[in-house]
Structure 1
Amino acid sequence: MNALALLQLPTVINGGFQRVPLPRSTFPTPVPFFESNGTRPSLIRCQSTSMEKPKTSKRNLLDNASNLLTNFLSGGRLGDMPTAEGAVSDLFGRPLFFSLYDWFLEHGSVYKLAFGPKAFVVVSDPVVARHILRENAFSYDKGVLAEILEPIMGKGLIPADLDTWKQRRKVITPGFHSLFLEAMVKVFTDCSERSILKFEKLLEIQNSETKEIELDLEAEFSSLSLDIIGLGVFNYDFGSVTKESPVIKAVYGTLFEAEHRSTFYIPYWNLPFARWIVPRQRKFHNDLKIINDCLDGLIKNAKETRQEADVEKLQQRDYSSLKDISLLRFLVDMRGVDVDDHQLRDDLMTMLIAGHETTAAVLTWSVFLLAQNPSKMRKAQLEVDSILGEKKITLECLKKLEYIRLIVVEALRLYPQPPLLIRRALKADKLPGGYMGCDDGYAIPAGADIFISVFNLHRSPYFWDRPNEFEPERFLAPKPSEGIAGWAGYDPSRSPGAMYPNEITSDFAFIPFGGGPRKCVGDQFALLESTIALALLLQKFDVLLRGSPDEVELVTGATIHTKNGLWCKLKIRT
């Protein structure tokens, strides 16, 4: 791995493995993010459109040497782009994406981050993001992100090179068709009800009088999402809500290693003999073998029972009569696609890791936000009561659960998973200047590494009103562009039939699943399972935080999650 990869490791997925106490959900201005030693770093300023500069942190000798090295080695390669001189010390303390926000307000929508011996381009503008992700998508790849994930995901969709990605995307995308998603509603419901039943049994055992229990809902959501991914993607019931097994332990071990590699500063796992000498690497490879053996068995079984058909016929199957309705079944049965087992395993591993973490995080932050807004929780519960009653959830029910769906996407706006998208220019390009940027744009050379800050886009005071407040209703009404050149504003009618706001309705100001050709193929799968799980939880329980919101500490790894869990009190609704 090259020097650039070494520098990016702490920030590739999300700005580094940092822990900070969370402020309240509304992020009033200004909000301190306290460090573990009680000191107060620079503040998040988000409420107004003011370009007030954040306080500049004091540079030490190492910081000054780092920035001199940047200017000498690579600073000139990015021309006259506004420059934020990042301190090496900013790698420690709070997550880097908070600093990226401060520098965004100070330097604008496109700026150069001079960090150590390399410079990076930070993008916080929907017009520029649209250029990179959709209009000129094949001029960029995933750079160092692919380097980190390849040992785990192989040539799955996320880390795959462009040629492999094009081939696999054509095969996998048809699998997420409407009838499959409709059939998945039953899987999502059954798994969610399994969790609800567990909570009810715990209530009976622990505290039958007050009808109240305390649970780490983040851990419960993690188990739930793992069960859903297992059944929906490769027809395997982990049963992790109620039990443990070597496969479940191996999955979590692999997830932790993926997060570790995304945040550790030195890729020691690439050193000769590390996989045999370093205990955690020995464990990782053992975990990987357990999972791969499990996947190999499932792939073998699917191939032995193959029912080959054309894509159109596969998409018209009667899924209600099928015992195996998994995505693996679809991929194996597709006529003309004789993919080898290794590639199938890479595809499944990618969906297992990417799909599991995202859904658990979305549900965690949805509950965190609702628990601080009882009136919004009550509104959501009334909607669930009126739509569901005693009925089973169907796709038609989900279409009517408008407010629940908006809560899910508002949680994704405030806590995007991940908060940064990574790209590397394959050839020289010229980026648009962005809002209040250079009219002539900015030339970038081949090899330039880019951080598209989803966090900045979603909380930009230029594209969202009250950007740091929890307002699910914001997605109901159009927001005009107000003269911002190149941006079409937010308009829910721009994507007819869409159940959830997306990059089209927001013109790339809201990109929780990316956008363009390399947008996440499982976006609707993740959104639907989150909606169902949240609806069924609120149907049965009132949810309160066990302590103050300030006690919930934020940890950034592969996703934004908590340090010690989201401990909540569940009370049976009366």
Structure 2
Amino acid sequence: MGKGLIPADLDTWKQRRRVIAPGFHALYLEAMVNMFADCSERTIMKFEKLLEGEDSRGGNSIELDLEAEFSSLALDIIGLGVFNYDFGSVTKESPVIKAVYGTLFEAEHRSTFYIPYWKIPLARWIVPRQRKFQNDLKIINDCLDGLIRNAKETRQETDVEKLQSRDYSNLKLRDDLMTMLIAGHETTAAVLTWAVFLLAQNPSKVKKAQAEVDSVLGQKKPTFESLKKLEYIRLIVAESLRLYPQPPLLIRRTIKPDVLPGGYRGDKDGYPVPAGTDIFLSIYNLHRSPYFWDRPHEFEPERFLKPRKDVGIEGWSGFDPSRSPGALYPNEIVSDYAFLGFGGGPRKCVGDQFAVMESTVGLAMLLQKFDIELKGSPESVELVTGATIHTKNGLWCKLRERSAVH
């Protein structure tokens, strides 16, 4: 990702954030919801077609790896939403998806390995792992070349003049496109995957979610306005991000000497850290901490509806939805930084609204049409990390058409 938005130094980040942030304003998001619905509809129609084929053979369900399906859906959405390009990967598998998984595995490997052996001359060609990484990177870069070419060719001439008059060598635009292509599709696919995994084990929550979808949407596609009313679906997305945060770790580097607060039951004097220290924040552990959450390992989307105050934890002002009225999801302000599904502070994820809306639309349209159960036991779904949390062998589920759709 070079000097893209996530790893950028402070000066580069300030410049890039100003350039990118306007792209996620309200009017853009409103248009995006329609596109999310259109892309999700393609996925739903694919499932329906597969079910029809199964019906003709006497079956009433299909078995699918929903993680793979969500990856294809999210890639199509980021392609259309950011690059104005239709990957069409819902109907034909894209090599970009596997390449993205590969690069994220390597990112995690490099952030935790003791010696940066990949910097040794020729290591990238001699070490099999590094050869694979270079191949994955080439697939993504070739894809980006095509996307940039397509964007230039399909723009109006006046827009092209504006594009060419800007100094993109300084703006590091390509790094940001790489960031959006990787971080903008794999993370959402992971959120949807774990949301379904959790719902499949909680039939009562599924019924509650489907009742909301039936009430708000009926048989219609979601719109920007109806999405605001899909409160329980949005809470399911938030609770899935609490239990399976994407990414499970955040990394921050001190730019000057500082003292970290001691925290609850920590050292009263805090912890001095010199400039240039890399600090790993375990969001996974924070989100499952018994100090901040009742029954932290349980799937309870409803937990975000009620305040949690005066719990006697020094330095934490509790959970209070009234702190951020009208928020699309229970953000870091509401939770006083106990929930960091999209990070917090100035370096917070720029695409948080985009991702929540995309996940809500995809999940609502799936539940609108289908009942879902896991093919095997929950224990058979192993998780692996590669900068994000995903499954080891896919999320295999049985899909049936809903028996009573209102």
Q: TM-score, normalized by length of structure 2?
A: 0.92
Matched, 1:164 2:12: yes
Q: Which residue of 2 aligns with 1:387?
A: 216
**2:232 aligned residue:** 403
Q: 1:366 to 1:250 in 2, by over 3 A?
A: closer
Pick from 216, 219, 242: which aligns with 1:413?
A: 242
> Are the counterparts in 1 of residues 106 and 133 from structure 2 also a CA contact under 8 Å?
no
Q: Is 485-494 or 504-513 further displaced after alignment?
A: 485-494
Which residues in structure 2 correspond to 1:229-378 (within 5 Å)? 229-244=78-93, 248-250=94-96, 252-263=98-109, 265=113, 267-277=116-126, 279-301=131-153, 305-307=157-159, 338-340=167-169, 343-378=172-207
Contact 1:432 1:440 in 2 (8 A): yes
Contact 2:258 2:275 in 1 (8 A): yes
Q: Does 1:432 align with 2:278?
A: no
Matched, 1:495 2:324: yes
1:214 partnered with 2:60:
no
181-190 or 343-352, which moves further after superposition? 343-352
Q: Which runs of 5+ in 2 are unaligned?
A: none
Q: For 1:507, give the aligned amino acid.
A: D
Pairwise CA distance, 1:257? 2.5
Partner Cα separation in structure 1 for residue 72 and residue 296 of structure 2: 31
2:21 counterpart (173, 192, 204): 173
Shift of 1:451: 1.4
User: Which moves more between the two structures, 481-490 or 559-568?
Assistant: 481-490
Among 157, 181, 192, which residue is 2:40 paired with? Answer: 192
Q: Is the 8 A contact 1:173 1:521 kept in 2?
A: yes
1:570 and 1:518 mapped to 2: Cα distance? 39
Higher Cα Rg: structure 1 or 2?
1
Q: Once the 2 structures are TM-superposed, how far is the Cα of residue 342 of structure 1 from its aligned partner? A: 7.5
In the TM superposition, what is the alpha-carbon distance from 1:305 to its structure 2 partner? 3.6
CA contact (8 A) 2:248 2:387 kept: no
Please tell me whether the aligned partners of residues 366 and 411 of structure 1 are also in contact (alpha carbons under 8 angstroms). Answer: yes
Determine the structure 1 residue equivalent to 2:359: 530
Closer, same or farther in 2 for the Cα pair 1:394/1:448, shift >3 Å?
same
CA drift of 1:274 comes to 3.8
Q: For residues 145-166 of structure 1, what are the alpha-carbon distances to aligned partners after superposition, in whole Å with 9 as ceiling and x for unaligned? A: xxxxxxxx12210121111110
CA contact (8 A) 1:494 1:504 kept: yes
Q: Percent identity?
A: 68
* 8 Å Cα contact 2:262-2:268 kept in structure 1: yes
Aligned counterpart in structure 2 of residue 224 of structure 1, from 73, 83, 92: 73
The alpha-carbon deviation at position 206 of structure 1 amounts to 2.7
Give a deviation string over 1:505-555, Cα, whole Å, max 9, x none: 001000011100000000110111000000000010000001111111111
- Give the CA deviation at 1:440: 2.4
Corresponding residue of 2:311: 482
How far apart are 1:268 and its partner, in Å? Answer: 4.1
Match of 1:105 in 2: none
Structure 1 stretch 403-412 or stretch 416-425: which is displaced more?
A: 416-425
Residues 486 and 355 (structure 1), Cα distance of their counterparts in 2 relative to 1, 3 Å cut: same
Q: Which residue number corresponds to residue 369 of structure 2?
A: 540
Query: How many residues are aligned here?
Result: 396
Write the distance in 2 (CA, Å) between the matches of 1:160 and 1:412.
Answer: 24
SS in 2 for 1:542: strand
Q: Is the 8 A contact 2:238 2:330 kept in 1?
A: yes
Residue 205 in 1 paired to residue 53 in 2?
Answer: yes
Q: What is the RMSD computed on CA atoms of the aligned residues?
A: 2.2
Distance in 1 between the 2:99 and 2:48 partners?
29
Q: In 2, are the aligned partners of 1:413 and 1:512 still within 8 Å (CA)?
A: yes
Query: 1: CA distance between counterparts of 2:311 and 2:107?
Result: 42
Query: Displacement of 1:273 after TM fit?
Result: 3.0
Taking the aligned partners of 2:174 and 2:278, their CA distance within structure 1 comes to 29
Deviates more, 1:206-215 or 1:231-240: 206-215
Deviations 1:432-480 (A, max 9, x none): 1111222222222223221111112111111111111110000001110
Deviation of 1:269 after TM superposition, in Å, equals 3.5
CA distance in 2, matches of 1:202, 1:550: 27
Distance 1:223 1:505, change over 3 A: same
Alpha carbons 1:227, 1:240 under 8 Å: kept: yes
User: Does structure 1 conserve the Cα–Cα contact (< 8 Å) formed by 2:62 and 2:400?
Assistant: yes
- Closer, same or farther: CA 256–342 of 1 in aligned 2, 3 Å: farther
| Residue 368 of structure 1, CA deviation | 0.5
The corresponding residue for 2:273 is: 444
- Encode CA deviations 1:330-362: one digit per residue, 9 max, x unaligned: xx9699955349822211110110011110110
Letter in 2 for 1:292: L
- Structure 1 residues 507 and 336, CA gap change in structure 2 (3 angstroms): farther
| Superposed displacement of residue 237, structure 1 | 0.4
AA partner of residue 443 (structure 1): P
Q: Which aligned pairs between 1:146-165 and structure 2 lie closer than 5 A?
A: 153-165=1-13
Matching residue of 2:345? 516
Determine which structure has the larger helix proportion and give its number: 2
* Change over 3 Å in CA distance of 1:564–1:425 after alignment to 2: same
When residues 455 and 254 of structure 1 are mapped into structure 2, their CA distance, relative to the original with a 3 A threshold, is: closer
Q: 1:299 to 1:342 in 2, by over 3 A?
A: farther
How has the CA–CA distance of structure 1 residues 220 and 174 changed in structure 2, closer, same or farther, with 3 Å as cutoff? Answer: same
Letter in structure 2 aligned against 1:436: R
Which of 384, 398, 406 matches 1:555?
384
Superposed displacement of residue 255, structure 1: 3.6
2:19 partner amino acid? V
Contact persistence 2:107–2:387 (CA under 8 A): no
